[in-house]
Amino acid sequence: MRIDVVTLFPEMVEHAAAFGVTGRALERGLWRLGTWNPRDFATDSYRTVDDRPYGGGPGMVMLAEPLAKALAAARATQHDDGFGATRTICLSPAGAPLTHARVAELAAAGDGTAYLLVAGRYEGIDERLVQREVDEEISIGDFVVSGGELPALMLIDAIVRQRPGVLNDAESAVQDSFVGGRLDCPHYTRPEQDAGGKVPDVLLSGNHAAIRRWRLKQALGRTWERRPEMLRHRALSNEETTLLAEYQRERQQVQQ
- Catalog residues that contact ligand SAM under the rule CB under 6 A: 91-94, 119-121, 123-125, 139-141, 143-148, 151
Minimum gap (Å) between residue 92 Cβ and ligand SAM: 5
Farthest CA pair distance, the chain: 74
Q: What is the 3-state secondary structure (H, E, C) of 78-136?
A: HHHCCCCCEEEEEEEEEEEECCHHHHHHHHCCCCCCEEEEEECCCCCECHHHHHHHCCE
The residue from 65, 123, 136, 184 that is catalytic is 123
* Beta carbon nearer to ligand SAM, 6 or 166: 6
List the catalytic residue out of 176, 184, 213, 227. Answer: 176
Closer residue to ligand SAM (CB): 121 or 215:
121
Give the residue nearest to ligand SAM (CB): 120
Are 63 and 52 spatial neighbours (Cβ–Cβ below 8 Å)? no
How buried is residue 206: exposed, middle or buried, by Cβ count under 10 Å (0-12/13-18/19+)?
exposed
> Are 115 and 75 contacting, i.e. CB atoms less than 8 angstroms apart?
no
Structural contact between residues 165 and 30, judged by C-beta atoms closer than 8 angstroms: yes
The active-site residue, picked from 14, 87, 93, 163, is: 93
Minimum CB–partner distance for residue 104 and ligand SAM (Å): 19
Decide whether 85 or 145 has the Cβ nearer to ligand SAM.
145
- Residues comprising the chain, all counted: 256
CB of 139 to ligand SAM, least distance (A): 4
For 181-236, strand residue ranges (E) read 193-194, 197-198
Nearer to ligand SAM, 23 or 93 (CB): 93
Question: Is position 151 annotated as part of the catalytic site?
Answer: no
User: Is residue 123 annotated as part of the catalytic site, yes or no?
Assistant: yes
Which is closer to ligand SAM, CB of 141 or CB of 200? 141
- In the complex, the smallest distance separating the C-beta of residue 68 from ligand SAM, rounded to whole angstroms, is 16
Q: Which is catalytic among the residues 2, 161, 182, 215?
A: 161
Active site residue 176: yes
In what helix (H) or strand (E) does residue 35 lie, and over which residues does it extend?
Answer: strand 32-36
Active centre residues (catalytic): 93, 123, 161, 176
